[in-house]
Structures are given as structure tokens and as C-alpha cells.
Chains A and B, each alone.
Chain A
Amino acid sequence: MKLIDLFRRLVFAQVLLGIMAFCIAERNPGLLLVVGALGALSWYVVEGPTGRPLPRWAINLGALSAVLRLIADMLWLDHHVILATGHFMMWLLMLLLYAHKTNREYSQLLVLSLMQMIVASILPGGVSIVYGLILAGYCVLALFTVLLFQLKISSDAVFETNRAASPTPDRVTRPEAVVGRGHRWQFRLTAASVGLVCAAIAVFVFVALPRTASRMGSALDSEVGRKHVGYSKQVNLSGPPPNAGSREPVLNLAVIRNGRNIGNDYTSWLVRGAALDYYDSRTHAWSRSLSSSARDRRLYLKSDGITLAELARDVPTTEAQVTLRTSSVPTLFTLHPVTHYDSASLRKIQFNPEDQQLTTNQAITGAAVYTVRWPTDPPPGLFEGYKKALPPREAGGRPQVTLQPVQNGDVNYRDATRNWSIQTDRVRELTLSVIRRVGLDRDPNRLEDPNDPRIAWALVHYLRNPTNYSYSLNNPMVSPLEDPVAQFLFNLRQGHCELFASALAAMARSIGMSARVITGFRASEYNHIGGYYVIRQRHAHAWTEIYCSDYGWQQFDATPPDEVMAEHHVRRSWFTGLRELYEHLEFTWIGSVVAYDQRTRAKLLSGISRSFSYATGDDRSWIGSALAFIRGLPQRWRFDPVGYISIVIVSFFILLAVATLVYLTLVHRRRVMSLQLANLPRSTRRGMVQQLRFYNSMLDMLERHGYRRPAWQSPFNFAQELARNEPTRLDPVVTLTQMFYEIRFGHREFDAGRRQRTRALLRRLELVLARRA
């Protein structure tokens, strides 16, 4: 039966599409390869002509293994519950694909597949437009599958009832599919209409339903995204060189100054992530000290944005709109020094005024959009501005923690960042020799001396000088007993950005200047179509911030810029435009759908309301003019009741005529296509269609009883095949087909004799077909 066969194929396609979507959302191509191959194989193993499903005991055993795997995933392997559940459902789907399938198994397949898509939509990979397209395809497929499944269920219920009633159940056949004319296109039209209505309601639900903050943890994101991270909130110098990172976009950044987008190919920005102020001489790793963490202030945005630092009114500011596409780390990337923050979706944040680090504990499901603002030219004394702007810390809002390495929580933060205890004398000697070479000097023991930014620049120039140090991602690993920074400074003299940043911090600290290492991204790849920077995992970078008197914390990038630029450089080709277009589409998708939040909703609703009220209130707009025209109709045309009734009747008949015309055109087109008359001139086509209507009637009649002529088969072959299969019953088809050829190609007239003959033959054919039914 074609209905059941089509349903089987659709279910199979839907399940495979769901599995593919899950693997894409999980960013696991290996799993996609394995499970996709297994799923495709199941069609040949189970559904093929010699297919045989797995025995029930094997399926049960497999299900038991899947349950054990789920338990192991959650208890011992520490996988996230969502991810473990998704894998569990995937293996259950695999088992069901290999099982003997009744309606129960089919419904299990459909429900499990739907659940899997729900899980996939939660995963971080679900933000990509590829996943969005797959999801749309899945919805369309699911619509047809469910509609067909409903028909199959009703057919099977009747079949089972008849089997139960019959004394010979084995001889009971499935109920014949009784159909009217044009059942195929009517089914497609119905399905399309149902889908469109569902989509319209879905748009309404999506737009109108209020959003709140997610309560799901971000462990899932970090688990899924762990393989692709280039950025890290810790810098471990003793390990292998840092992962260069993938091309996966992490965030998009649009920089706006005075209302203008100032992004371009030639300007790069250091996007600040973590501020690392503590260097562990034992593990050789930079991290954020607990004393800094202890000073984080919990902030909750109740209105439009929050001011982090007080600025004078006339200070020009620059704004960056950040679309964060991954939430594997709780860091909010900003540009230094951030003074204002605003977001609709990420409203629970933590901010430390001393290291100006923004973090959040709120989960980011899908993507998040936020805006940061900073002074274009940071004024002196900005650090004090932070203290003024932020509210006092809530009493008891944070548990007491043990502070390391500074035991006193009230110690000056700058003092904590100006000590360097590894080969201090040697580093200090090198530093002093460098700055003295350019005519500068500083007494390391006089900490109260002002920090001269020229010293910092001198150190930067020294490190950037290719005759002194060179940039390399393949620097050899050092012994755990040796310090990597000292090795870099005195022996190896080559390294990556983290070593350059660490060396600059070490040199600055050795002479008593406060310094810290910053990790983040270097934004340089500009998307011309969208007008924003695309920041990928491979753009991860590290630099240094040094406290300069009167200016506060200033950024210094000691890494040779040419090498970094060469590493991040994108060669423009014909493919670049395509890629930018794709990424812009994805950005739009993320901005409008994935990252749709409370503020976007409010903006959209108020925009719609405003547009509508404007359109209806303003007579210049077309809606307003139309409404005004309708309002003024009674004054303009004064009719008596008979006149109104006449207008209504005339309008009705006009509409009826238009509808009839459309209907007749469609019917005529369908007839032309089925009679293959499209190549004839228009003048002869209509007459031929009229004459050959009997052949269309015959095809309709045959189609209602299950004999369908494929598009590739000629009328002659079709009639021959029918006559060969059922020579006594379907001989009218042969005669009618002969008459078709006589009229179509033999230039015979469809006279009264032929008309009567065709009518008699059609009646006979109808009787013959009805008798069989």
C-alpha cells in the first residue's frame, strides 16, 4: 500500500534528520558519521526486500545497555544530564530503527525523535543557521509524517477490527483506500495550509510569549564547547603551546562611535576577557586571584543598563554591540575600560571595579546580546569613577573566602600586582638595562614613585624587537623545574603571545609597576556585509595591562604585531564574500531568533503597535488613506438600501467570477499537463483539451481505483500494461486509448458517434471497476 510505504520512508527520513541535527548541535562529527551510517544501514537491513528486523530479545538487550550507559554517563563520566539524555534517546532510536515496527514502535520513534530535537535545540550548537534550516526541514517532514501516521492509524484500526471479526483472519485484507478525485494534490494542499496556519500561530506564540532568565546551568555549554576553545580564563605556561583554536565564531562585535559604525579591515580591537593577576611560581600559571574574585560585586539590571564608572557629561564614548554565541565560559567580553553595560537577556552580572572584569553566572541558552560603552579617550582618575558609580557591596551577599596570596582583603590591589618573585634580580637587571638604554630609570624599592608609561612602552618596544625576541607558536616545552617566563626572557627568546604578555608583566613587576595579564580576543576580521567584526576561537590573544600614574590601567601588547596580523589575516577571494554572506545570515538568524529576548520582544511589539497606530492615524499612509476612504464612503456616495444591495451583489459576482476564472485556469492547466499538450499552440490547445476530456475522465476513474499512469509512461504503454494484467476487465481502456490517439495524432474529429461511444465505454469501465470494489 502506497500510503504505508510513503509513511515508512518519511519516518526514516525524519529520524535520520533528527539525529543529524542533534550531532550538529553537539558539534560531534564523529558521532554523526557513526550513527548516520548505522541509521542508513538499518533501511537495508530491516526495510529492504529481504530485510529482517532484529529479534525482540536483542532489542531489549540493547535498550538495557542504553540505560546502563545513561547511568554511567551521569554518575561516573560526569556528562551533563541533557547531553546524556540526548545520547540515550539516540541509541533508543537506533534500536527502534532495527526493530520490527508496529504503530506503537512508530509512535515511539516519532516522540523520541521530537524529544531529541528538543534536546538539540538546547545545545549550544543549535544557534547555527544550518541547524535552523535542518529544524525547519524537520518540521515540514514531521508535519507530513504525522498526517500520514494519522491516516495509517485509522486504517490499521479498521483492519484490526475486521480481522478480529472474521472467522478467517488470515484472509482479511487491508481496507481499500477509497479516494475521491485529486486526492493527492488536495492532501498536499491541506498539509501546506495546516503547516502555514501552524507557522503563523508559532510566530505569534514566539513573539508574544514573555521571556525570563534561564535557570539552566552553563555546564552543558562548557562540556559541548570544550574541544574548540582557543580562549581560556587561565594561562598555563608550562604546558604545550596553546591551542590555536578553530574557525568557529565566538562572538560578533560592532563598534559604534557617534552613531556611526567605525569598523573596518585596518583597525583591530583587543576584546578583553579575563584579567589574570596571580602568577603561581609552582605551576607556572596565570590566574585570577581569589582576592580579586572576592571583590566581585553582584549587579542586577532592573532598568536600561548600568553605569559602572562615573564620567563627565562631555566625555565622548564609543559603544560596542556584542553578540555572544557561546557560553562555554562565564566571561563577558568587553573593551577596556568599560564604563557602561546594558543587556536584555544577561541581567545578572558580576563586576569587579579593580580589574574591571565582567562575568555572569546566568546561563546563556543559544546566544546573548549586550552592549558596552567606554570613553573614547579614557580620562585620568577613571579608577575613582568606578568607586563612585557602583553601589556599596551588599552585607552578607557573598560568603567569606580564604584570600590568596594576600591574606588581608583590604590590601591595595595595586600592591598585589607589583611583585615578581622568580629570578627577581636577573629580571630586574634586564628591565633596568632596557629602560636605561632609552634614558629612563626607576628605583624598584620606591614603590611610591609614579609609574611612567614611557617605561612600559620602552619594555614593549624591547620585546617587539625581532632582534631580541621572535614570535612562534612552536616553542619547545620547558622543564617543569624551570620557569617558562625566565626561559623565554633569557634562553629561548621565542614564544607565543602568552609568553610575551607574561614577560612584559614580569619585567614591569620586577621594577615595582603593577601589571597583569589579560586574555581575550583580537578582533580584526571585519564582515563588510554585516558591518561587524567576526571573532573566532583562533583569534584568542593575550596582552598586558600596566598601571600608569594619572592614566590608570593601560593596555600594552608586547607581541610582535606583524606576526599576529599575519596569523589572523584573511585572504580575500571570491569565497570570502560568500562566507561573509553566510555568516551575516547566521548573525541575523541569531540576532532575530536565537537571541530573541525580553527587550527585543518589547521593541518589536511597541514597533508594531506604533506602526499600526501611525498607519491608521496618519492619512498620508496607505492604510490610513484606505481607512479614511472607507470612513468617507457614506458621505461621498450616498446610496439608498437598494443601491447598497446592488453593490454587494455586484461585488459578490465579481468575486465569484474571479474565483471561477482562477479555478478554471487551474483545471485547464492541469488537463493540459496531464494530456501533454503544453507544446501545442494556444489556439489549438483549447479545442484539443475539450475533445480529449474523455481521456482525462478515464484517467481520473482509473486513479480512484489504484491505477495511476506515471508521468513517464505513454498512454499506449499504460493501456497495454493494463490490458496485459487484466485483459477481460480493462479492455475499454484500450479502446479509449486508441480513440485518444486517433484524435490527438490522427486528426480525426470528435463527432457525435465517437462521443456516444466514449460515453458508453466510460460507463462500462465504471461498472467494471465498481464491481471489483
Chain B
Amino acid sequence: MYVVTTALILASALYTQANLLFWALGLMVGGLVVSIGWSWQTLRKVTVQRLLPMHGVAGEPLVLRYRLTNRGWLPVFGLVVSEAWGQRGRRRPATARTGSTGTLALPPQLNVRPQGWVLHLGPGQTVQAEATCWPLRRGLIHFDRVVLASSFPFGVIRKILKLEVAGAVLVYPPLYRMSRRVLGRLSRRNVTGRNHLDRAGGTEEFFGLRPYRAGDSLKMIDWKRSAKTNELITREMTQTSPPRIMLALDLTRRGGAADSPQHTPTVGDRRRYRPKSGVASYTAETDGTSERAISLAASLVCDAHFHGYPVGMVVLGVTCRAFPIHHSMPHRTKLLEALALLDTSARVSDLPAMPAEPTVIITPGRGSASPRLGGQVLLGAADMDQYVTHIKGGAAALLNPRGGATSRREAVRSAAQRPRHQEGVS
């Protein structure tokens, strides 16, 4: 448009010989020259550091942060920060999916390139920009390079700088809060009714007596016994025994037609499969029932951890190690990572060694309304909408219920490779 307008002014000036048009033409030419000079000089000494979160959740916003430093003498305005994939100089395969610009291949988890925007980056200054993307499915997203682009000042020339900055972020399956009914069913699984261990160290029921040790609570001193024995005696109480969940994810049965690892969801799929209730995620719908089962398992792991239940897991039908029953944040993270990285295309028929008897079985098919004879609960991914509810505040509320300390520890992982500059002007 700029060049066309300049050409029009040039034609008008030459035809009419109006001197004011020569002024206008000079200004337009000046703008063109300034654009060329600016695009040549700007972004030359901008460095970028990508700050990735430890993980993302499918269907939830994933915020990528960039630390941008301008070591040049010119300020940068209107800077667009985005990502690019694919090997440089190699032709993109015909089947590769493209981003909004239609030029670069995208990883299967994303449908558009994440883009961030920086209004101003002064000389010698460092700012932090962020780009948000919405991963469509679980898995590891590899990032190859960061693309910096600016069309300032007149939008005539677009300066593009591509920096090789590698990094990766793991995307968990879609997470939901389990319904109270399901959790209640799991907590009533123990038919004896006992909910404590025969072990001291808790606060439940009386377990025994022992001499007072420094640091014992004064409330726990048995004053009557102490008076009788003339030394301080402390009461010991039993520990609570929350429901122990051994989850078996049974992927030996296949799901629907869309349960193919080659199937890549698109924006159209997402809109088509958007559930009316708003409970089940489009990702689970599009990726088939196996993906729904994985999502259900991940949701159960998270919610069980949230409620303090020890959880173990074994996966049937695909290659995955077995996890014994345990309750800790690293343990939960390991379970979610294992679920995120499950390769449903690599099927195996051998059953893994089970650390404990499964208490919950999740299958891609239908579940049953009541526990089985052995006390096992069967949850079917096809009935997922009955088991889960939407999480208020997103999956982060479930993953990091306390926010601060945990999120800070897991917040950023720096991919601090020294970037190599590759410039291009289009």
C-alpha cells in the first residue's frame, strides 16, 4: 500500500508539476529510506531467552515467557515474538501442518504459533514478554527457535530475526475434578471399616504409652499416669489410613476411529466436538476413548493426591512402568509425566508386574455402576462425563492448590543456550 501510494504521488507530481506534491513525494521516499535503514539496524543486537514452565495441561493456556535484551543503540517498537519449528533450509513436508502464517510446520499439540507482543524495548533494557498457546493434546512439545519480527516504523519492510533456542515442555492430559460420588465410592472401598493403621504417630485412637521425650506436645501427656509413676508419660495415638488407590489403566481394548496417533485435532474438530455441558474437553473427544481414559486417569491421580490418598498406577496394553502406591508431590508428578508420555500406538500384550491389587480400573469402554466383587471400581472413559466436573480456575487450581511456593519451584526452567543469530528481511 505504501509503495502504491508513493507511486501514485510520483505520477501526480510528474503530471501536474505541483511543487507541494514533490514535497509529499520526498516525504514518502524519506519514509521508505528510513524504513530500510531502520530494518537494517534494528533487532541486530537483541538476545532472547525462553523461560518455559515445567508443564502444561492440554486445553489450558500455556504461557511461554521470553526475556528479551536489547544491546543495540536503537529502541525496538512493535516487536512480535513467536516460535518456529522445522529444520532451517529444509523443505516442509507436504503433510506438515501449518500455523496461522502458513509457512512453518507445527508440533501436533498446537494449532497456531504462539505469539507475544512487546510495545517497546529500549536500548540496554531487558523486558519479559509472554506468549500464550493452548495445547490440544498431551505430549512433549519441542521448541526449536524463537522468531522476532518488527515492521516498525511504517510497515513497509518486515525485519525478521530467527534465533536458535531449543527447549521443551511437557503437556499433561486434560485434567478435571472427579465428582464427589466417584471419590466417595473409592473411600468406601475398605469393607472392614477401619480407617487407621496399627502404628503410632498419628492422632486418631489410643495406641500406647511411653516416657516423655523433649518436644512432645503437652496435650499428649497422660497426667494421671505421670502422677502415678512420678515421671512424665506421653500417650501415643494411631495414624489415619486414607483410602489407598491402585489405579489400573487398561488400554488393551481400542477406542473409536479417532483413536489414532496420526489423527491430529484441528480447530474445526475442536469446535465440532465441544460438549454441551462444558465438562468434557474437546481434546478427549477428538483423541478417542483411549485419550479420554488417559485423561480420566490423570484427573483421578491429581484429585486423589489433592485429597491425600496414596496412589499407585499400572498401565495395561502399552509400555509403561508400574508405580507403587505412594503419596507425595514428586510421585504425583511422575505419574502425570508417565501418562503424558504414554505412546498408545506401541501396544504390548504382556501384563506388567503389579505392586498391589488394583482398586480402580479405567477402561476406554463403559464402566459399571457398582464395585466389582473384589472391591474394584470400574470406570469407563465412555462415561467420563458422569465422573468428572469442570475445574474452577483451571487445572492450575488442582495441580498447585497453594499457589506460591510450589508454583515458584516449578515455575520456570530456563533454556539458556547461547542463541545464534540468523537474520532475514522479507
Contact = CB atoms under 8 A, between A and B. Distances in A.
Interface of A: 3, 107, 111, 114-115, 117-118, 121-122, 126, 132, 135, 139, 146-147, 149-151, 153-155, 157-158, 161-162, 164-167, 175, 177-183, 186-187, 190, 194, 197-206, 209, 211-216, 363, 365-366, 593-596, 704, 770, 773
Main secondary structure, interface of B, reads: mixed
Contacts of B217: none
B384 to A, nearest CB: 17
A198 B117 contact: no
Contacts of A594: 19-20
A183 B33 contact: no
Given A122-B21, A154-B80, A204 B133 contact: no
B214 interface: no
B9 interface: yes
A154 B151 contact: yes
A197 B34 contact: yes
A363 B18 CA distance: 11
Nearest to A160: B100
A476 B171 CA distance: 98
Interface in B86-107: 100
B30 A111 contact: no
A214 B15 CA distance: 6
B414 interface: no
A146 B153 CA distance: 8
13 contacts: A151-B77, A154-B79, A154-B117, A161-B100, A178-B119, A187-B75, A194-B38, A201-B27, A201-B34, A202-B30, A205-B26, A594-B19, A596-B22
Nearest to A214: B17
Given A158-B116, A365-B18, A365-B19, 11 more contacts: A121-B21, A135-B23, A154-B151, A183-B119, A186-B122, A187-B120, A194-B31, A194-B38, A202-B23, A213-B17, A593-B23
Contacts of A121: 18, 20-21, 24
Contacts of B133: 165
B387 to A, nearest CB: 21
B125 interface: yes
A720 B24 CA distance: 50
Given A157-B80, A161-B112, A198-B27, A365 B1 contact: no
A122 B274 CA distance: 59
B26 A202 contact: yes
Contact of A146 (B17, B75, B111, B154): B154
Nearest to B70: A180
Contacts of B25: 202, 205, 209
B5 A153 contact: no
Contact of A211 (B17, B115, B154, B155): B17
A729 to B, nearest CB: 14
Nearest to A345: B17
B45 interface: no
Given A194-B34, A199-B27, A164 B21 contact: no
Contact of A178 (B29, B61, B117): B117
B128 A178 contact: yes
A107 B29 contact: no
Nearest to B129: A178
B255 interface: no
Shortest 7 CB-CB contacts between residues of A and residues of B? A202-B26, A198-B30, A205-B26, A201-B30, A180-B125, A121-B20, A183-B120
Interface string B114-138: 1111111110011111101110000
A331 B173 CA distance: 86
B122 A366 contact: no
Interface string B280-319: 0010000000000000000000000000000000000000
Contacts of B270: 167
Contacts of A179: 118-120, 127
B8 interface: yes
Interface of B: 1, 5, 8-9, 12, 14-27, 29-31, 33-34, 37-38, 59, 61, 70, 75, 77-80, 100, 110-122, 125-130, 132-134, 150-155, 267, 270, 274, 282
A181 B267 CA distance: 39
A183 B123 CA distance: 10
A118 B12 contact: yes
Residue from the set A115, A139, A209 with the largest chain B CB neighbour count within 10 Å: A209
A705 to B, nearest CB: 11
Nearest to B150: A154
A216 B270 CA distance: 60
B117 A164 contact: no
Given A151-B152, A154-B78, A770-B128, A200 B120 contact: no
A206 B17 contact: no
B370 to A, nearest CB: 35
A118 B12 CA distance: 8
B122 A183 contact: yes
B63 to A, nearest CB: 10
Contact of A147 (B113, B134, B153): B153
Given A122-B12, A211-B17, A158 B122 contact: no
Contacts of B20: 121, 126, 132, 135, 366, 593-594
Given A178-B129, A202-B23, A164 B34 contact: no
A150 B120 CA distance: 13
B19 A203 contact: no
A197 B80 contact: no
Interface centre among A200, A201, A366 (most CB of B within 10 A): A201
B26 A190 contact: no
Nearest to A165: B112
B120 A162 contact: no
A204 B29 CA distance: 10
Contacts of B9: 118
B5 A186 contact: no
A331 B33 CA distance: 43
Given A180-B125, A198-B30, A773-B128, A175 B19 contact: no
Contacts of B100: 161, 164
Contacts of A107: 1
Contact of B282 (A126, A149, A167): A167
Given A167-B134, A187-B77, A211-B17, A158 B115 contact: yes
A177 B31 CA distance: 25
A672 B129 CA distance: 31
A190 B19 contact: no
B276 to A, nearest CB: 14
A161 B115 contact: yes
B16 A203 contact: no
A186 B20 CA distance: 31
A181 B125 contact: yes
Given A151-B77, A190-B75, A194-B34, A122 B117 contact: no
Contacts of B37: 197
A215 B151 CA distance: 38
A122 B19 contact: no
A214 B13 CA distance: 9
A202 B22 CA distance: 8
Nearest to A200: B30
Given A201-B26, A216-B16, A166 B113 contact: no
Contact of A180 (B8, B21, B121, B132): B121
Nearest to A205: B26
Among B38, B110, B122, the most chain A Cβ lie within 10 Å of the Cβ of B122
Nearest to A149: B155
Given A150-B155, A158-B116, A206 B111 contact: no
